[in-house]
Structure 1
Amino acid sequence: MKDNISNILCVLHDTHGQDSLVQRAMNIAQKYQAELTVMLAMESLPPNARMIMQSFEYLESQSSINQTAQDWLDEKAATWSQQYPVKTVVTIGDRFIDIIHHVTNNNHDLVIKQNENEASGYITSSDDKHLPRKCPCPVWIMQADELTKDKQVVAAIDVNYHYPEHEVSLRKQLAFDILFHAWQLAALENASLHIVHVYDGVPENILRQGFISVNEDAAQQDLNAIRQERQEEIDRLLGVLALEVKDSEGSELKPQVHLVRGYPRREIANTANACGATTLVMGTLSRLGVPGYIMGGTAEETLEQVECALYGLKPQGFTSPV
């Protein structure tokens, strides 16, 4: 699993303010001696363009836009390639679909893109939400101002394995993958590494509403047992990670573990914010193996509460619905 980054796709959503993103992508590619492709992904002309142009004019406009964009990108790539070899591609259409098709057809193992929301750090654009949901490889949506910050990588892992048996192995592997990628990013970014897991017994909202009665002593014993169970699993994962990264750069990283009791949709974000997270690494599926449950629940609500980069992963064997 070491050095698992070998074919990177860097996506530009604009022709302005993207040089720092490409620079970071080149640094990462150089670190791993990975192939790097820079894609300029543009939306197609609006539907009403056909209403105000003859069909042949419309098609010529699309072709002209594509050629002009390719010329611009090739000129930029000539400069970038003086530092590191860069391939280029221009697409015009539905951007997130074009990106996913290119990932699938060219076996990219990492997509790097800048957050399109320039007003704040929240991830709000349609494309920036669609990609973590549906792209088959990890997606790293970066913030424009990350270079000025002390780096804090936060890995949100779910080590609750009390699920149907067919899901447990997938969940265990995904938890380790999140941990490994978070370590990899922390080593790459010279960052501190935090691990957060949120646990609870009976959900607080059920207790508050008085729907069930709970013996306080028994409930506390259950919570203590759950916390111990989750701590032991995190310790096991860290032991496996230590063997995986032994003698690698960054192997001296000492992750800080945050075992938090509460509601995951709230406490993951609270913990990430308290750590000053610059990148949050998490899975972007809720129920594994259940069709349609993509980017559900916890991941969706967490992103609405944090202003940091997102590094989203899928479980092994995930097939994009695109």
Structure 2
Amino acid sequence: MRSFKNILYVFEPSIAQETNIIRAVSLAHSNQAHLAIIDVIPEQTVGSISTDLTEALISKRWNMLESLISSYTNVHDVDIEVRVGTKFLEVIRAVLRNNYDLVIKGAENPDWMMHLFGSDDMHLLRKCPCPIWLMKPQEKANYDCIVAAFDFDPDDQNQSLLNQQILDLANSLALSEFAELHLVHAWDVPEIEFVRGWINEPDTTTIREIDAERARHQAGMDALIKKLRDRLGAEAYSYLSPQVHLPMGSARKTIPALLKAVRADLIVMGTIARTGIPGFIIGNTAEAILDQLECSVLAVKPAGFVTPVTLLC
């Protein structure tokens, strides 16, 4: 099972913090992990003030964080860091400096947008090298339903490793939260409409094509489920009893619809399919899904992902 050993919590002043901090402390405690909290003061806030005033402001914010977490330090020690700069850049630099293996942050949920995630959130989803857990405002103390979303490419070993990482995270959380686990893979046959235009027996051929494609995707999901059963053992797998969904259609439509239908509290998903390209943006499908989310998200990068953000000299 996947466990975390070095967790970074990002203070987000635009939302209530209590439930999110409790979850971060609880996760760190159960994993026996190091936990730190970071606050980033925008550069424009200190741009016109003296060094002494800047240091005073940093000290004030540090004391505020210390007061915020004081009621939890009897459960778990929490380190504090206050930086000046651009939030997503300083968070990623902290990850690079200290090798954090999970970032937890409340979603910005800006009032002027009809979306859950704000600018810093999207930058982190694109560029943070470790998994990032963005929690919606008014987060529940315990999850009832967790969804893991997969993609399959038999020629891409990195995709298989990413799927395994998603599966490990989702089933570990479902077991610890006593939550329902749903496994989903959306598939499509977009070339079917083109085939219909030139074949003599469109219905027969279409059915054959769809059945073959469905079988290919079903085989990928079956292999993933077998890995989960083998890792958990028969008894634990039976207790977890994951529900499997293999909808036909565009993932950007079928996955958000499924999340609403099952009243998902969290989706665990990959955000980038290609590796070795620094700063490679979120794929169109993942971006479209994220844009429609009403639940929290735990986003995972593939092995070999390289962030375009670098440490300052």
TM (norm. structure 1) is 0.86
Paired residues for 1:292-303 under 5 Å? 293-303=280-290
Residue 269 (1) aligns with residue 268 (2): no
The equivalent residue for 1:10 is: 9
Superposed displacement of residue 61, structure 1: 3.0
Superposed displacement of residue 100, structure 1: 0.6
The equivalent residue for 2:140 is: 147
Aligned partner letter, 2:168 = F
The alignment partner of 1:79 has SS state of coil
Give the count of matched residue pairs. 306
In structure 2, relative to structure 1, the CA distance for the partners of 1:194 and 1:16 (3 Å cut) is: closer
In structure 2, relative to structure 1, the CA distance for the partners of 1:95 and 1:247 (3 Å cut) is: farther
The alignment partner of 1:252 has SS state of helix
Give the conservation status (yes or no) of the 8 Å contact 2:159–2:273: no
Kindly provide the CA deviation profile for residues 12-63 of structure 1, in whole angstroms up to 9, marking residues without a partner as x: 12186212211111111111111111112332225xx75xx4xxx4433322
CA–CA distance in structure 1, aligned partners of residues 237 and 86 of structure 2:
39
- Give the alignment partner of residue 284 of structure 1, picking from 257, 260, 271: 271
Give the conservation status (yes or no) of the 8 Å contact 1:45–1:62: no
Residue 123 (1) aligns with residue 116 (2): yes
The equivalent residue for 2:198 is: 213
In structure 2, relative to structure 1, the CA distance for the partners of 1:180 and 1:37 (3 Å cut) is: same
Residue 74 (1) aligns with residue 66 (2): yes
The equivalent residue for 2:41 is: 42
- Give the alignment partner of residue 100 of structure 1, picking from 92, 108, 115: 92
The equivalent residue for 1:188 is: 176
Aligned partner letter, 1:36 = L
CA–CA distance in structure 1, aligned partners of residues 278 and 239 of structure 2:
40
The alignment partner of 1:261 has SS state of coil
In structure 2, relative to structure 1, the CA distance for the partners of 1:130 and 1:211 (3 Å cut) is: farther
The equivalent residue for 2:294 is: 307
Residue 253 (1) aligns with residue 229 (2): no
Percent identical: 32
Paired residues for 1:232-247 under 5 Å? 232-246=219-233
The equivalent residue for 1:88 is: 80
- Structure 2 portions without partners, runs of 5+: none
Aligned partner letter, 2:109 = N
Superposed displacement of residue 98, structure 1: 0.5
Give the conservation status (yes or no) of the 8 Å contact 2:134–2:297: yes
- Structure 1 portions without partners, runs of 5+: none
The alignment partner of 2:125 has SS state of helix
Aligned partner letter, 2:99 = N
Superposed displacement of residue 291, structure 1: 5.8
